[in-house]
Amino acid sequence: MDKFRMIFQFFQSNQESFMNGICGIMALASTQMYSAFDFNCPCLPHYNLAYGLGILLVPPFILFLLGFVLNNNISMLAEEWRRPQGQRGKDPAVLRYMFCSMAQRAMIAPAVWVSVTLLDGKCITCAFSTSVPVETLGNASRPHLSQGEIQQVLARIPCRDIYNRQQLIANEVAVRYLRCISQALGWCFVLLMTTLAFLVRSLRPCFSQAAFLKSRYWSHYIDIERKLFDETCAEHARSFAKVCIQQFFEGMSTDLVAARCHLPRKAPADAGEAAEKLLGITDQGTMNMALKSWHRCKPALHLHPPALPTGNGWAGEGQPPMHPSAPRRETAAYYSWV
């Protein structure tokens, strides 16, 4: 249990680790789905190809979309892309980094599905059974069979229970031939995906390390800013609800006192604290205005430290000090009445 708890805490440490865990779970789920899937080839010409390629390509597409849906950053990316310019500019490099990061993680489960499917060989055997070279692997004389009849016979190769043309080509020979091709394609696909992942992970920071770090930093900043904004809104809503409920019960108590029902009244200890958390926003219209302002005009990413006052005015004429770490000197000015 301790190991599972440590793994769970690692997944919750940051957004990137959480999404890596989600993608790993989806990859394992894709293999379990394929192992539990009942593959039934139709064994009919013009249907085998559609069924085999459909099983090979349609589930990876669904898993790819599901990887985007489960990624929490997709809404953040859409919001950052569609929001007005406001006081903060939008960096296309950060948006590209966020999209590429989500796409890379969403591609893990589809790549696992395609790899497992090709290595198993059933889809390729079903899809390309009519393309088996009979001249090379079977009876080249083709006794009393037209081209259409040969296609119907070859389409039944994946279905051993209804295949009865061993004199044309042996079922085991054709299945082994197609499975070997499928496994070769599967290992080539695994090698290609591994090579691409290695190149993306290792060579991308080498060419533009500064731009990579900048995009990664501001991507994390947008995620953290959104979480803090949600937490601040939730805290404000809690304080707003608490003050509203307290005022409601105080009004009810006043009405009961006016009706000569003397009730003991005790001021809540946290009333002042809840009122302070409202930050001056005490009505629905002001809160809606603040939310709209946050969406339309997000504050610029530039912090203005307060200037240090001296005896003769503001130091540096409103500019921040050159050495903020130096000890502050206090100057006393004396005035005399003449």
Which pLDDT value is given to residue 319?
Answer: 47
Report the C-alpha gap between 92 and 90 in whole angstroms.
6
Report the C-alpha gap between 48 and 132 in whole angstroms.
13
Q: Which residue has the higher pLDDT, 179 or 213?
A: 179
pLDDT, tens digit (0-9, with 9 covering 90-100), for 200-214: 878 777 777 788 888
pLDDT tier at 322 (50, 70, 90 boundaries)?
A: very low
% pLDDT > 70, the chain: 76
For the entire predicted model, the pTM comes to 0.71
Q: How far is CA 174 from CA 148, 150, 178, 316, in A?
A: 18, 14, 6, 86
In this model, does residue 7 exceed pLDDT 80? no
Helices (H), the chain: 2-11, 15-36, 48-70, 73-82, 92-106, 108-120, 122-127, 134-137, 147-155, 171-207, 209-258, 271-276, 284-296
- Residue-level length of the chain: 338
| Residue-range domain boundaries for the chain | 1-138+145-208
In this model, does residue 118 exceed pLDDT 90? yes
| Buried-exposed string 150-178: b where 16+ CB fall within 10 A, e elsewhere | bbebbbbbbbeeebebeebbbbeebbebb
Which pLDDT value is given to residue 338?
Answer: 35
Contact by Cβ (8 Å): 48, 122:
no
Report the C-alpha gap between 329 and 323 in whole angstroms.
13
Q: Which residue has the higher pLDDT, 274 or 60?
A: 60
**Cα(first)–Cα(last) distance of the chain, in Å?**
82
In this model, does residue 257 exceed pLDDT 80? no
DSSP character at residue 313: E
DSSP character at residue 259: T
Report the C-alpha gap between 43 and 130 in whole angstroms.
10
Roughly what angle, to the nearest 10 degrees, separates helices 92-106 and 73-82?
150
Reference 56, options 85, 93, 30, 77; nearest CA is 30
- Of 1-10, 37-46, 54-63, 123-132, least confident by mean pLDDT is 1-10
Tokens in use for 328? 């502050």
Angle, CA 158 vertex, CA 155 and CA 164 arms, to 5°: 70
The beta-carbon contacts of 225-234 under 8 Å, at least 24 apart in sequence, are: 226/76, 229/294, 233/291
Contact by Cβ (8 Å): 39, 118:
no
